[in-house]
Amino acid sequence: MLKRTLYFGSPAYLKTQNKQLVIELPETGEIKTAAIEDIGVVILDHQQITITQALLARLLDNNTAVIICNDIHHPTGLFLNLDGHTLQSQRFQYQIEASLPLKKQLWQQTVIAKITNQAFLLQQYRIPNKVLLQLASNVKSGDSDNCEAQASAYYWKHVFPLFPKFRRHREGPPPNNLLNYGYAILRAVVARSLVGSGLLPTLGIHHRNQYNAYCLADDIMEPYRPYVDKVVYNIIRTHGNFLELTPSMKQQLLSIPAIDVIIDYEKSPLLNAVQRTTASLARCFEGKSRKLLYPIMPTTLTP
């Protein structure tokens, strides 16, 4: 079952009763409810939202990712469950003891999947992609030749034709703001699934920043980034250069967990596909598999 993503962008009082999320909206006097077991992600994007400790505890027990936004409406924090799997301690140990050759192989698979999806996204929009396909075929163990960076340099120059001088930078001009918002949602989805698979989001297979609590999430989300880029591309096609983050744009970005992707030759919502990816990663750490399961972006042309 696909878990719901709930967004709160106006004053609200959130509590729990009878295993339900109870939403009180002071501006209208409305009271709504939602089953907590059906919720995968909650986004709190207003300075006048009150949430009870009891509700937070129930959401985390349900392995719901809770995202907090700052006063400029950018995601700035994330709550996750500390006890997401019955064999968590054992899986932590497998993860900690993973050999360097295994991690290099897993990173190789991750980079190949990312570059391939970038290439297929360009193909959908009739943008030349042979450079990316060649780079994907050249990725070595651990990406020792840094094909990922070479691919990114080419990709970002071509993926947004309305912005021919675009540079991907977190603090850069639009559409960086849209990418930041979409990637934050994706990161939360991946971190949630890692916890649900009994893994530590902190211990990466490639990313190692000592100040980053989500290194593994940043690794595993890489092949999924082009799905966010596609949503941003479609927003640009609709709005042109007018890209200050609006409620309608947020609504499109909030659909990311429900996007259909193809994984292992089957159609699946992205949120469920990420769960399959993290489960395959856990099997790799346990020595039961050597292959990470990632989605493949379709190559069909977009009208």
Report pLDDT digits (tens) over 217-246. 999 999 999 999 999 999 999 988 788 889
| Residue list, annotated binding site for Mn(2+) | 148, 207, 222
Distances (CA, A) of 11 to 17, 50, 101, 108, 235: 20, 8, 50, 45, 27
Supply the pLDDT for residue 91: 87
Residue type, 179: L
Distances (CA, A) of 240 to 43, 106, 161, 181, 295: 27, 38, 11, 18, 29
| Residue list, annotated binding site | 148, 207, 222
Topology of the domain comprising 88-286 = Four Helix Bundle (Hemerythrin (Met), subunit A) (1.20.120)
Domain boundaries, the chain: 4-79, 88-286
Closest CA to 285 of 237, 228, 232, 220: 220
Supply the pLDDT for residue 210: 67
User: Please, which pLDDT band fits residue 303 given cuts at 50, 70 and 90?
Assistant: very low
Supply the pLDDT for residue 72: 80
**Yes or no: is domain 4-79 CATH 3.100.10.20?**
yes
Report pLDDT digits (tens) over 185-194. 999 999 999 9
Closest CA to 186 of 259, 122, 110: 259
pLDDT of residue 107 exceeding 80: yes
Query: Which pair of tokens denotes residue 192?
Result: 């949630």
pLDDT of residue 255 exceeding 60: yes
Supply the pLDDT for residue 164: 87
Query: Which pair of tokens denotes residue 142?
Result: 């651990």
Closest CA to 6 of 31, 26, 33: 33
User: Which tops the pLDDT comparison, 195 or 132?
Assistant: 132
Supply the pLDDT for residue 81: 82
What's the mean pLDDT when you consider all of the chain? 92
Supply the pLDDT for residue 23: 97
Supply the pLDDT for residue 302: 45
Could you tell me which residues come within 8 angstroms of residue 190 by beta carbon, excluding any fewer than 6 positions away?
201, 217, 220, 221, 224, 274, 278
pLDDT of residue 119 exceeding 60: yes
% of the chain with per-residue pLDDT over 70: 96
Rounded to 10 deg, the angle between the 88-96 and 270-286 helix axes is 70
User: Please, which pLDDT band fits residue 274 given cuts at 50, 70 and 90?
Assistant: very high
Residue type, 93: Q
Supply the pLDDT for residue 301: 53
Supply the pLDDT for residue 208: 81
Supply the pLDDT for residue 211: 63
Find the helix or strand (DSSP H, E) in which 49 lies: strand 49-51
Could you tell me which residues come within 8 angstroms of residue 259 by beta carbon, excluding any fewer than 6 positions away?
227, 231, 269, 270
Query: Which pair of tokens denotes residue 15?
Result: 């509590």
Report pLDDT digits (tens) over 55-90. 999 999 998 999 999 888 878 888 888 765 556 788
